[in-house]
Structure 1
């Protein structure tokens, strides 16, 4: 109440309103929950954001408040793009009547929606009651389409009693129709981009969270702030169903990660700055809760303070390698020169870190928390050097392997007729490059044809690039053609750019313009471009006591690169100094690169 300033009377009005009758005891408890956790909840605005909101309201006057809670937050995901933002705290501006209306509607929902009868009051407060999604202006709940009353009346009309909240979720979408689908297909945002804006995973979560809660379905947003085995982060929506021990797996199958956090309305403990050392932005937010153990097997880890040269910090962090840097993912207070971290994901490489002023510094060497929960320190052994042979700088995964597999069984035909009448089969693809690099076909005898195509009837062919060369190894070019004249992707297979690709059905080919003698062909499936590329400069580093230390820099002359006399038992990083941003740390075990 002290933080509410001149707005205190509005909050006192709410508490007084619900203190008149014992029948309002739940409303009073709900009001107390909202008010005591309100500090820190706020909207962000400036002239640019106000102009953006006015523009969107003008372009889409029929947009529901449910959709607005997603759309209004779009520019706020990149706070550095819009200049200095003003923070308006809810507790300083929220009106008593707004809270009363919201609380009355929410309590009525909880009492009347029979599918919520097993939901605890604590879960009701956390997963249905909150009035805001993120940093948007305060918006009233929609009273018609997106209303729990609409869903309830539909169930009553059909005399249908759902057995679980999950059943309600699956039915609710169809009951309300698809009036918001147009926004997902592409929304015009002139102040951000000239092209259609496509919702990302966080936009979808904001929309889903508001849609579900408004219609009587408890929900939350869970997120991985930084993947521990690849770049980026991820958000997904979960429903809270008291019938199931953990219904979240339906929305996010088996994430391999260091941490999963849940966005909350209530406050959670956060590190408090001493005024000297920085606190990572993730942990300046009190509205996130650790839910890692709801998804994966976890272990507790104790880390010792090892930097005798520096004064002991208040906090240590465990960081994962993400977006080419160490990113703090968990925090712990230092007590008696030790920090205890609970519920850490396994099969992940961590680096203990701390802050000295604004700089993040390592506290010792990285370590691997293996699949069984055992810790293996990655300390370079310089007395027993090894030889490294590397063919990729970023790991493969199942769907990337499918790109290569799509070419297996394809056959290459050639003809002098555009309809491939009397075509000759020149080659059948039985293997592809395991690193998603080029394969080369050298014909025993040059073949002279005008039209060439690669075929796999009734299946999609994922082709990144296809090149033709004569006996003098001069590249021969032509005009792309395909089984579907509307398939513009066929041109991507002949543009000498491996990061563009064709996804054509049945066949795609090329018209060389005239008969040409072909001696050699090169082809590559759809690829991520993370194989070793001839001509690129690569830099190999290992993690030493004070950080990354360069071993060697060299130019690749083929599709692999080798380094001699490097420390064993170390953590490595291969950088492509020429091109590309996808790179992962790795260990080298039994002659094989193991990415982490």
Structure 2
């Protein structure tokens, strides 16, 4: 009897093992991989999800479960230490106090920025301690519960089908851009999707009568989130969605992740498009933004601190020097056969592109991994694409953004051919450094492009000084001032002197903005000058139209530093001259990037010929550097050895003037680009 009992037990165990094995192998390949690599408790959680949706009416939801479980091993995040959470909570508490108790202070964007600066100061202090960098890696495969995954799937379907048909998407895009519980490597909050779904439930009524753009703007403006790459990029923080709400602050990556979660919670197909770097820049800086797909189209939304504007968004993307744009794909592992899906190249959805074929004339080994690269000051070249085709010693890259200088390199970032410029018309111009020209002078005025497409602010801030007036009076009475000089046709980054037709001798001088406008004026340097064309000393200065202290503003426009500047709304600056001195004019410098040629500073011009080679090193005696006998088709870079960081490559046009890639010929793009630069 005892023996029979043991046989029955063994038979049962063998049957259960066989049954479990049969069940295990019924799962798709990628699902089995996740189950096999999970611990016992987590495997049970994932199997609960599969069994929960293992009903005929839940066939689509079962596929969604398989998609999520197949991709779970790919994802994790870095958990911030408790000190970070405490700082965020303290900043949030401070904001709430200011909002409640600061009626007289008028809590606004300016005050919000000060609070956010305080957050940065605290984080910089914490980052000096070693333990702050000991961040725990939290893997999705170790932490996701069955209840979380089940609710995520059900909520995705529920929200999606509450949208009008126009805003619903196909099942493949649903799995990539509606279903996923995360967008990138952001920390997870298990209740956040439902919280956002309920908070913004008003959208389902509004979307029936309002365009999607209006709803996005309303949500974006309500949240008032500031983007700050300069101050946050070195901190490498990973805030949760709730912490983004508390801080109203983050990198473009953090803000993008937040809005993707928000709109997915409402059932929209939302995701991230990104670049690994811009083209024609001095250093690699990536960027990402979110999009919403609907009705066979998509709406890209740039994360920015100001209000969103959609009217010129197509023009903005075309003008932005993006060599490659990629779309982040959540469903990277096919649950059926474990095949790998890479992020999608969507460059041609944003910019004009071309197919580029480059021959390996330098006889780099065909076995190398070839790369499409853009210029990078530190390493010469920075990879933007490695998806090439090789045929008969020719390397082909598809969907390459125009208006950018490139090189195709081997795995060691050594060019296999001359660098080249892909212009806006799709033509290739190889930068061979061969066509020596001796019959024309070559003029260099800058080490960095004079305009940052698609922004016009570098020019606008300079031209804003046009029509400003210098007036004189012996009294402070408002009506006693007389016009002496009006600035006209001014468009220079250099400090410029303006002389009067005759010497003036007033006690008070006043610089005012054009009366019919109410814009902001930016001044880096200003001084009244004497008959020797030297700045007059011991001048008292008074300001109108600034929120900063008078002492601070005075230091900014008199410190002989071109990178500091005063900001004046309806500018009115009064200068009091002692001892009735003669004034023959004034010198002024607009807000600028200081990338022009400065007299007395040391410069070095180099040309690229497989490596950088010096052309000439000198101290500038003028604001223009003149050269003879240069190659018109060379790739050049100018170093300021005295100061500064920004510099990038250029070549020369037919007249010997600097040709900035993607800038000098931007009118060829045909989008009404700002090209009336006229810098002197």
| Residue 68 of structure 1: aligned partner | none
Distance in 2 (alpha carbons) for counterparts of 1:263 and 1:138: 18
Structure 1 residues 11-59: Cα deviation after superposition (integer angstroms, max 9, x where no partner): 223222211x1121121111112222333211124xx645323543565
| Residue 542 of structure 2: aligned partner | 481
**Greater Cα shift, 53-62 or 24-33:** 53-62
Q: TM-score, normalised by structure 1?
A: 0.82
| Residue 523 of structure 2: aligned partner | 463
| Residue 473 of structure 2: aligned partner | 415
In the alignment, is the contact (CA less than 8 A) between 1:165 and 1:241 conserved in 2? no
User: Comparing both chains, which one has the higher relative contact order based on Cα–Cα distances under 8 Å and sequence gaps of 6 or more?
Assistant: 2
Within 5 A, what are the aligned runs for 1:35-50? 35-45=69-79, 49-50=81-82
Distance in 1 (alpha carbons) for counterparts of 2:470 and 2:482: 8
Structure 1 residues 418-464: Cα deviation after superposition (integer angstroms, max 9, x where no partner): 345532322221122x4411211234543223322222223433322
Larger radius of gyration: 2
| Residue 668 of structure 2: aligned partner | none
| Structure 1 gap ranges (5+) | 64-70, 270-284
**Greater Cα shift, 403-412 or 199-208:** 199-208
Choose between structure 1 and 2: higher strand proportion. 1
| Residue 84 of structure 2: aligned partner | 52
Question: 2:504 matched to 1:447?
Answer: yes
The structure-2 alpha-carbon separation of the partners of 1:61 and 1:34, relative to structure 1 and needing over 3 Å to count, comes to farther
Q: How many residues align?
A: 551
Structure 1 residues 173-194: Cα deviation after superposition (integer angstroms, max 9, x where no partner): 68xxx3x4487799x99x969x
Match of 1:542 among 607, 624, 636: 607
Match of 1:161 among 208, 214, 233: 208
| Residue 129 of structure 1: aligned partner | 179
The structure-2 alpha-carbon separation of the partners of 1:154 and 1:559, relative to structure 1 and needing over 3 Å to count, comes to closer
Match of 1:216 among 249, 264, 267: 267
In the alignment, is the contact (CA less than 8 A) between 2:372 and 2:383 conserved in 1? yes
| Residue 279 of structure 1: aligned partner | none
In the alignment, is the contact (CA less than 8 A) between 1:313 and 1:354 conserved in 2? no
Shift of residue 209, structure 1, vs aligned partner: 1.9
| Structure 2 gap ranges (5+) | 1-31, 96-118, 237-246, 302-309, 335-339, 662-680
Distance in 1 (alpha carbons) for counterparts of 2:227 and 2:400: 35
Within 5 A, what are the aligned runs for 1:169-318? 169-170=216-217, 178=222, 180-181=223-224, 198-231=249-282, 233=285, 235-243=287-295, 245-248=297-300, 250=310, 251=313, 253=316, 254=318, 255-267=320-332, 288-308=343-363, 311-318=365-372
Match of 1:425 among 469, 483, 489: 483
Distance in 1 (alpha carbons) for counterparts of 2:200 and 2:563: 47
Distance in 2 (alpha carbons) for counterparts of 1:268 and 1:369: 35
Distance in 2 (alpha carbons) for counterparts of 1:547 and 1:307: 13
Match of 1:146 among 176, 186, 196: 196
**What is the SS of the residue equivalent to 1:256?**
coil
Distance in 1 (alpha carbons) for counterparts of 2:291 and 2:173: 11
Tell me how large the CA RMSD over aligned residues is: 3.7
| Residue 364 of structure 1: aligned partner | 417
| Residue 339 of structure 1: aligned partner | 395
| Residue 353 of structure 1: aligned partner | 409
Distance in 1 (alpha carbons) for counterparts of 2:200 and 2:276: 34
Distance in 2 (alpha carbons) for counterparts of 1:482 and 1:172: 39
| Residue 659 of structure 2: aligned partner | 594
| Residue 494 of structure 1: aligned partner | 558
The structure-2 alpha-carbon separation of the partners of 1:141 and 1:514, relative to structure 1 and needing over 3 Å to count, comes to farther
Shift of residue 142, structure 1, vs aligned partner: 2.8
Structure 1 residues 236-264: Cα deviation after superposition (integer angstroms, max 9, x where no partner): 53433322534338456323321112223
Shift of residue 168, structure 1, vs aligned partner: 4.8
In the alignment, is the contact (CA less than 8 A) between 1:166 and 1:239 conserved in 2? no
Distance in 2 (alpha carbons) for counterparts of 1:373 and 1:321: 19
Choose between structure 1 and 2: higher helix proportion. 2
Shift of residue 154, structure 1, vs aligned partner: 6.3
Q: TM-score, normalised by structure 2?
A: 0.72
Question: 2:641 matched to 1:577?
Answer: yes
